[in-house]
Every structure is written in C-alpha cells, then in structure tokens.
A = this chain, B = another copy of it.
C-alpha cells in the first residue's frame, strides 16, 4: 500500500539528484544511478524507470548531460556525463535545493513570526 513513503515528497528533486551524482562520479549509466540512490538512502528513495529515463532524456535534450554508448558484450550501456552547461546548472540546482530544504525546515520547526511584526 505504501512501499515508497517519500513518493509524493520527492517531486522536484529528481533532476537535482541526478545532476549531483553525475557531478560526483563523473559518469554513470541509468541503472547505476537508480542503484546508487537506493543504496545511499538505504532504500528510502527509489527511482523508478518511468521517472529515471524520461528525466535523463530531458536533461540530454536540454544540453545539460551527454551520453556515450558503450557495448558491454551485446548490450548497450549509456554512460551519461555533465556538459559544461550541466556543471553550471548543477551548482545552481544544488544551492537552490539546499536553500529550499532550509526554508522548509525553518517553516515546520520554528515559531512563525507572523502576528508580532
């Protein structure tokens, strides 16, 4: 019924996570990205194919990542890496996300100032 509790909360962060991991590891392929997120979050965040591949294709279409096809036996593996524009976008996206996390954290843990201005 509720296998992925963070499902609804995850919205909007997927692209930033992908960019961040590519920035960290240099190059990764789709399946590897999903496994990496799964392991890093101890199974708490699961990126599904239906989210991952469209996200990668969109990032590629926007010129933020590029892919390099490598044959592993008879199987194609697509390694993605950041473009220069992607590196700039990554730094910006991470800063925005961290700022957002702080803002939300503040909003749900601190006494609101409204009412005594």
Contact = CB atoms under 8 A, between A and B. Distances in A.
Determine the main DSSP class of A at the interface with B. helix
Q: How many copies does the complex hold?
A: 2
Contact of A96 (B9, B13, B36, B105): B9
Interface string A93-104: 010111111011
Interface string A6-38: 101111110011001100110000001001110
A12 B8 contact: yes
A36 B108 contact: no
Nearest to A108: B20
Contact of A111 (B6, B11, B24, B96): B24
30 contacts: A5-B96, A6-B100, A6-B103, A8-B11, A8-B12, A9-B11, A9-B13, A9-B100, A11-B11, A13-B104, A17-B104, A17-B108, A20-B108, A21-B112, A24-B112, A32-B114, A36-B114, A37-B107, A39-B112, A39-B113, A40-B110, A41-B107, A44-B103, A45-B103, A45-B104, A45-B107, A94-B108, A97-B108, A98-B108, A101-B104
